[in-house]
Structure 1
Amino acid sequence: MSSVKLYVYDLTNGMAKQLSMQLTGKQIDGIWHTSVVVFGKEIFYGQGILMTQPGRSHHGQPLQVIDMGETALDQDTFNDYLAEMRTHYTADKYHLLDFNCNSFTDDCIGFLTGNSIPSFVKDLPTDFLSTPFGDALRPTIDAMFRRPTPGAVPLAPAAGSSSSPDPQLTASILQSATSQAEAGTSVNTGQPSSSITAPIHMITNSATFNNFVRNNKAAVALFTAPKTCPPCRMIEPVYERLAEEKGSHGGKQGAAFATIDTDAGVSRALSAEWGIRATPTFIFFLNGKKIDELKGANQTELRSQVDLLLFQAFPPHPHTSLSLPSVQALSLNPILFTQVPAFDAVLSKQIGFIDTQESWPSSGPTKDQVKVTISGDVMAYLKARYPSSGTADSKAKLPSAETDVLTSWTQATAIMSLALPIESLFPIADLWRLAFLDPAVCTWSATLTPNSPPSFDVINTLLPKAILALDSPAKGARNYILIVLRLLCNMFSNLTLAHKIIRAHTLRDQLTVLLIPSLLHNDAMVRTASASLAFNVAAVLQKDRVDGVRSGGIQLDNEEDLADWEVEVVTAVIEAVDREKESEEVVHRLVASLAFFLRLAPFYESHAKPLLEVLQSRQTLRSKLSGGEGWKVENGIQKKDIRKLVEEVADKLCA
């Protein structure tokens, strides 16, 4: 048994305590050097691992002596440990901030006692670098501990910098700390030392490793064998870059990174403890618990796993930390209308509308040409793709539309939209509804530009007519609105086309002008179709945002022009929920769309939250659970899954 002491020194001999507030705006009592005293020797790290009689090093007498307890290990075991450590703690790796005497002492204390050095010593680099002054000095400190490029001029604090109020004083403090750290060594390479390229913990024993895992919210450990494993050497620079980019050093919010050399004798027990049988192996920890493991030198997967770990540890949106099982259970797949009509009946009705129309535009396809197009190529394509009435099978191998057929069909639709009244257009719109279940049709439509002639863009032909139909009392107008809403829903079967509709201002504005009044329509089938369209729009946004969060954060630049539009749509959705008294399914689709609009809304705090309070959205949603005057079901929503979703959105996303 031997007592274990921690000797604490100030590398600046009091200068940091006197001047830190003036220089950094934060009180820093010292730039700490530590050594471990055990078995009658003082051991420390500078230009290699060094040993002397206690209190006889070049640092003089310690400023503080801290009792770290006793070790149950014998001296021979500790000497073997030090021999292994010398291969890790070499002179060329020393760095004043990232890999220093305190890194070594913490490792030794962990090996000897299972404890860790005090946080005021370990946290000093983070405290220092979190100040503007410390951040500005980082390049200077790095340059002092890096092997210089021939001919390069050493960095110095920039004169006149707001982060460096006294460059000469700064240089004096740094020089004092550096001289103390490097002086009195028995090793002298004759060359400046080179720092490790990233702030990575070098760990050799279980106690230090357990402290590392326990003390970091997010941690990554690499078990490697660089001497004998080529893939380990290949992945090492990638790992170091990740540690630099994603690490928690310098006051950043990030993960802690560690390396364990399985070739080192003292690390073999640690490797065996974690079941390491191959190198490289990466283990990922969240809140002290192992959550995943990766074997092999797969750079892409390594980066993805680190990003996922950081996402879980530091959610980029306040709602990502909420438990939302009902919302997360919602499918992001679009709601589609796949019912196949009796084609001959639809064709007959459309031909009848054409034949009874007395006037016809003088330019463009004639009546006969339109009828030939629809009854010929178009009907042949649709009957081949949907050979019998029923429901379209979107997974079956089906024939796709040819471009020349789509072109002539679009031109025929454009001329009919000019010649026929709105209530006579729903048959042709219904045929297009089915066509937009064909990926080839969606791709073709998505490639059209704003400069394409109107006669080539079926969306800009049919959608404006549906907007006009909102003011028509004719029964046929209601039919046309219903079909166009369903057609728009089917357009969301293709993500590229869906993005075009949402991101292109003109299309989005037109869709909104149709969608919002339709949510409040007096016909239940129209409300069902419009609620479905609202869901499809919200689901696309949700998918984009989930993907953005997983890859490191939602790109706000891509969202700014959507903020005000989303407020408008969310307002309409909440009003539609409030007014819906008949259909649980409509409420279900509306609340699901509301969940997607709100869950990862980039401007939730500034835009959505105040709106939800003004609209009393929580009370509105919860009223659907209890029913009330005019509600078709006396006791409110009956289906359990819909009730759970409404409760979750009301109490967590609208609270």
Structure 2
Amino acid sequence: MSTPVQLYVYDLSNGLARQMSMQLTGRQIDGIWHTSVVVFGKEIFYGQGINITPPGKSHLGQPFRIVEMGETAIDEDTFEQYLSEMGQQFTADKASEALPLCTDITFNMSQSRSQYHLLDFNCNTFSNECIGFLTGGNIPDYIKSLPADFLSTPFGAALRPSIDAMFRGGAHSGLPTPPPEAVRAAAQVSPNPALATGLLESIAARASSSGYAESYIPTPAPTSPPTPVAADVKDCTDLTYFQSLLRDNRAVIAFFTSKTCGPCRVVEPVFQDLAKQKAKRNGGVVFAKVDLAVGAGAAVASRYGVRATPTFFFFLDGRKASTHELRGANAPELRTQVDLLLYEAFPPHPHRSISLPATDSIALKPILFTQIPNLDTLLSKLNEFIDAVSPWTGVLTQAQIKQALSKTVIPFLKASSTPPPPQPPTAPFDYWPALVLGLVSNLTVGDLFPLADIWRIALLNPKFSEWSAVKKGPQNPMNVLLSKALGSKDVPRNYLLTVLRMLSNAFSNTNLARECTTSMRNDLTAILVSSLLHENATVRTAAASLAFNVAAHFQKRRLERIESHGNIDPEEEDLDWELEIISALLEAIGRENASEDTVHRLTASLALLLRFSPFTRDLTPLMEVLRSRSVLTGKLQKGNTGGVTKVEIRKLITEVAEKLCP
């Protein structure tokens, strides 16, 4: 799963560089750029060491510009390890300095290998390293080239010794300040040495500080600085990034503009409004703004033959058709072209236009098994099984396991289930896996049903289910208990039934439900398919409940995808799995003769899977072979065994048969 990466850009001069750079340096410099990297919900930057803070909460306030840098496939743990290693290079001059006020974490190593320098080794050096690690790209050239541009001016060359002195030893005793001789050198090349020196000191203070450094240069009067690009619009300042957007997205709408273009200012609000509406609703849709006067924007325009602004290009799968081009500030035509592009990129689902009131009225709340047995009796039965084992093997002894059950596990369950539910005690859940492994290693499958029932009850507790969601891998207790139900053909009915109910309760937590349908999918599918056809009616009902929870989970996920992105990407789902589940559901519906409620749950599961399936065309041949419509309408024959009589169930069956089955 990829994670978006952003570059926050700040102007350390608070707009002074843009106003006064021409008179101080003889060259227009729009800002003294400080950057930070935003990823995994954190803002990371280099000042007095590597600092991490919530986005936009550093001492510099809100960013001047946000630049989208693409996405990373690197996970958060790997990135944190990378930062820890980088801390040995990007560190404060003194590792013993106190933690900055604005940071949550600071990496400071005992030996400083490199010290912050405004021009040579700074926040932008660090940001470029991080962006390279995360995405393989680079920060925009107009940021990287700023020191060279500044030093090429007479004023910059005269102040270079001052800057070196400031960052050679000034950080030891407070804010870096230039020596007097540097000021005199600057005076020879600047018409306003006091202002120049004050500006430099202010920039240095804000750049090297990690806390709320207070500038003593007066804040300039507002001069209508460039506003940050809207969050839904990608600010493209170089060709590499623009081409990465074309490569990684299904549809791209590019707006070529310039600050001096009057029609651009007229049509830009329309473009931003479209981005807000369409980029949020359609996955793989990007609205990109290319300002010809910012960074390498002119190079992007030249690459695509743009000579006038405003110009809009419309890309599908990285290619631009000749008709996908609009020149001028024609707002109605812009809206039309965007809609046409998105219709071509994301044709509507064939079921979107079908009225399915019975299907759409199905409540997506999971079916949970909340009955609490006598917990003391449950413990007594489990202790009886434990005492009967000889010899006992494993890390935990029989006495240790029995004590843990009686002193911690059962009290936790009692506290969680007492009405009205109080705040349950905090339990050290991390030792529970060892407890389960010890019991599973020594007890027979037939004696494990009390343990599975303990887990079923515990999963109703939000804290416990959230903890269980992060316990991944084969040693996850749910995996262990599930695998025992798949270990042989003659699994005792009571154990199979309890495991099915335990798995149903796992869907009380969204994160745990996601784990069940991803990392545990194969085993979950195996027990579900076999149990739907079990000879025992109670087992079949529990399996139908689990099937419904699985289908409801996918329906909620698909509805969220449609709401936020406009459609569902088939590559995000598994056709083979859906074929297997739908086959099992149809066979189970045809065979079920004991319970109308079971037929209801099975039909509801089928309806939810078919409603917005991205594989409608692929499923049609299978459903024709399985005679899906005949299977369902057969349940409407009241005179037959297994015929359904309840009105609401009959409505659902009729709707699914007539509108969703071929």
Q: Please give the TM-score of this superposition, normalised by the length of structure 2.
A: 0.50
Whole-Å Cα distance in 1 between the matches of residues 497 and 545 of structure 2? 11
Contact 1:598 1:653 in 2 (8 A): yes
| Aligned ranges 1:467-616 → 2 under 5 Å | 467-468=486-487, 470-472=489-491, 477-504=492-519, 507-556=520-569, 558-560=571-573, 562-606=574-618, 608-616=619-627
The answer to whether 1:622 aligns with 2:614 is: no
The answer to whether 1:322 aligns with 2:354 is: yes
Residue equivalent to 2:331 = 200
Whole-Å Cα distance in 2 between the matches of residues 369 and 251 of structure 1? 66
The structural deviation recorded for 1:554 is 3.5
Pick aligned residue for 1:331 from 342, 353, 363: 363
Whole-Å Cα distance in 1 between the matches of residues 403 and 262 of structure 2? 84
Contact 1:422 1:465 in 2 (8 A): yes
Whole-Å Cα distance in 2 between the matches of residues 460 and 251 of structure 1? 47
Residue equivalent to 1:107 = none
Contact 1:439 1:494 in 2 (8 A): yes
| Aligned ranges 1:137-176 → 2 under 5 Å | 143=306, 146=309
Q: Residues 547, 354 of structure 1: CA spacing in aligned structure 2 closer, same or farther, 3 A cutoff?
A: same
The structural deviation recorded for 1:92 is 6.8
**Secondary structure at the counterpart of residue 352 of structure 2:** helix
Whole-Å Cα distance in 1 between the matches of residues 338 and 570 of structure 2? 27
Residue equivalent to 2:400 = 369
The answer to whether 1:342 aligns with 2:365 is: no
Residue equivalent to 1:225 = none
Once the two structures are superposed, what CA deviation does each residue of 1:379-431 show, in whole Å capped at 9, x if it has no partner?
111111123xxxxx7xx553346351x23333222111111111101111111
Contact 2:415 2:421 in 1 (8 A): no
Q: Residues 139, 432 of structure 1: CA spacing in aligned structure 2 closer, same or farther, 3 A cutoff?
A: same
**Secondary structure at the counterpart of residue 625 of structure 1:** coil
The structural deviation recorded for 1:322 is 0.7
The structural deviation recorded for 1:316 is 2.2
Q: Residues 463, 250 of structure 1: CA spacing in aligned structure 2 closer, same or farther, 3 A cutoff?
A: closer
Residue equivalent to 1:644 = 651
Residue equivalent to 2:422 = 398
Whole-Å Cα distance in 1 between the matches of residues 638 and 590 of structure 2? 11
| Aligned ranges 1:101-116 → 2 under 5 Å | none
Whole-Å Cα distance in 2 between the matches of residues 316 and 517 of structure 1? 35
Superposition CA RMSD, Å: 3.5
Contact 1:422 1:469 in 2 (8 A): no
Give the letter aligned to residue 481 of structure 1.
L
The structural deviation recorded for 1:557 is 5.7
**Secondary structure at the counterpart of residue 454 of structure 2:** helix
The structural deviation recorded for 1:501 is 1.2
| Aligned ranges 1:96-245 → 2 under 5 Å | 143=306, 146=309, 195-196=328-329, 199-201=330-332, 244=334
Pick aligned residue for 2:431 from 395, 408, 412: 408
The structural deviation recorded for 1:471 is 2.3
Q: Residues 254, 514 of structure 1: CA spacing in aligned structure 2 closer, same or farther, 3 A cutoff?
A: closer
Once the two structures are superposed, what CA deviation does each residue of 1:118-148 show, in whole Å capped at 9, x if it has no partner?
xxxxxxxxxxxxxxxxxxxx99999565379
Once the two structures are superposed, what CA deviation does each residue of 1:422-467 show, in whole Å capped at 9, x if it has no partner?
11011111111010011111111111233xx72xx21121001111
Whole-Å Cα distance in 2 between the matches of residues 537 and 490 of structure 1? 11
Whole-Å Cα distance in 2 between the matches of residues 554 and 620 of structure 1? 30
Contact 1:535 1:593 in 2 (8 A): yes
Whole-Å Cα distance in 2 between the matches of residues 590 and 436 of structure 1? 24
Whole-Å Cα distance in 2 between the matches of residues 535 and 610 of structure 1? 24
The structural deviation recorded for 1:559 is 2.5
Once the two structures are superposed, what CA deviation does each residue of 1:547-579 show, in whole Å capped at 9, x if it has no partner?
11112334426534x211111111001100010
The answer to whether 1:357 aligns with 2:490 is: no
The structural deviation recorded for 1:162 is 12
Contact 2:534 2:540 in 1 (8 A): yes
Contact 1:532 1:589 in 2 (8 A): yes
Residue equivalent to 1:440 = 463
Whole-Å Cα distance in 2 between the matches of residues 141 and 478 of structure 1? 68
Whole-Å Cα distance in 1 between the matches of residues 358 and 620 of structure 2? 21
The answer to whether 1:654 aligns with 2:661 is: yes
Residue equivalent to 1:462 = 481
Whole-Å Cα distance in 2 between the matches of residues 554 and 540 of structure 1? 17
- Of 620-629 and 486-495, deviating more is 620-629
Whole-Å Cα distance in 2 between the matches of residues 141 and 375 of structure 1? 73
Whole-Å Cα distance in 1 between the matches of residues 632 and 620 of structure 2? 15
Give the letter aligned to residue 459 of structure 2.
F
Whole-Å Cα distance in 2 between the matches of residues 144 and 428 of structure 1? 73
Contact 1:469 1:478 in 2 (8 A): no
Pick aligned residue for 2:448 from 406, 425, 434: 425
Once the two structures are superposed, what CA deviation does each residue of 1:163-183 show, in whole Å capped at 9, x if it has no partner?
89xxxxxxxxx9xxxxxxxxx
| Aligned ranges 1:50-129 → 2 under 5 Å | none
**Secondary structure at the counterpart of residue 602 of structure 1:** coil
**Secondary structure at the counterpart of residue 619 of structure 1:** helix
Whole-Å Cα distance in 2 between the matches of residues 521 and 545 of structure 1? 30
Whole-Å Cα distance in 2 between the matches of residues 627 and 354 of structure 1? 51
Query: Once the two structures are aligned, what percentage of the paired residues are identical?
Result: 41
The structural deviation recorded for 1:370 is 0.9
Pick aligned residue for 1:249 from 328, 337, 358: 337
Residue equivalent to 2:93 = none
Contact 2:263 2:310 in 1 (8 A): no
Whole-Å Cα distance in 1 between the matches of residues 383 and 644 of structure 2? 44
Pick aligned residue for 1:385 from 406, 413, 416: 416
Give the letter aligned to residue 435 of structure 1.
A
Whole-Å Cα distance in 1 between the matches of residues 302 and 579 of structure 2? 45
**Secondary structure at the counterpart of residue 367 of structure 2:** coil
Give the letter aligned to residue 356 of structure 1.
A
**Secondary structure at the counterpart of residue 565 of structure 2:** coil
Unmatched tracts of structure 1, length 5 or more = 1-90, 95-137, 149-154, 156-160, 165-173, 175-193, 202-242, 256-309, 388-392
Contact 2:633 2:654 in 1 (8 A): yes
Unmatched tracts of structure 2, length 5 or more = 1-260, 265-300, 314-318
Give the letter aligned to residue 552 of structure 2.
A
Whole-Å Cα distance in 1 between the matches of residues 533 and 320 of structure 2? 59
Contact 1:435 1:441 in 2 (8 A): yes
Larger Rg computed on CA atoms: 1
The structural deviation recorded for 1:359 is 2.7
Residue equivalent to 2:287 = none
Whole-Å Cα distance in 1 between the matches of residues 568 and 610 of structure 2? 16
Residue equivalent to 2:99 = none
Give the letter aligned to residue 503 of structure 2.
L
Q: Residues 611, 400 of structure 1: CA spacing in aligned structure 2 closer, same or farther, 3 A cutoff?
A: farther
Q: Residues 412, 147 of structure 1: CA spacing in aligned structure 2 closer, same or farther, 3 A cutoff?
A: closer
The structural deviation recorded for 1:640 is 0.7
